[in-house]
Amino acid sequence: MRLTPGFGASSLDFTVACHIGEFVDHYLVRHELRKRIFGRLKAEGIEIPFPQRTVHLKKDVV
- Domain assignment present for 11: yes
Residue 59 domain flag? no
> Is residue 50, in this structure, part of any structural domain at all?
no
Is 36 within a domain? yes
Q: What is the pLDDT of residue 1?
A: 61
- Residue 29 falls inside a structural domain: yes
Q: For residue 37, tell me if it sits in a domain.
A: yes
* E strand or H helix at 31: helix 26-43
* In a domain? residue 56: no
Instruction: Please give the residue range of the domain that contains residue 26.
Output: 2-43
pTM: 0.60
Structural domain includes residue 24: yes
- In this predicted structure, what is the pLDDT of residue 12? 76
pLDDT for the residue numbered 50: 79
Stretches where the chain sits below pLDDT 50 are none
Q: How many domains does the chain have?
A: 1
- Predicted local confidence at residue 52, as pLDDT: 86
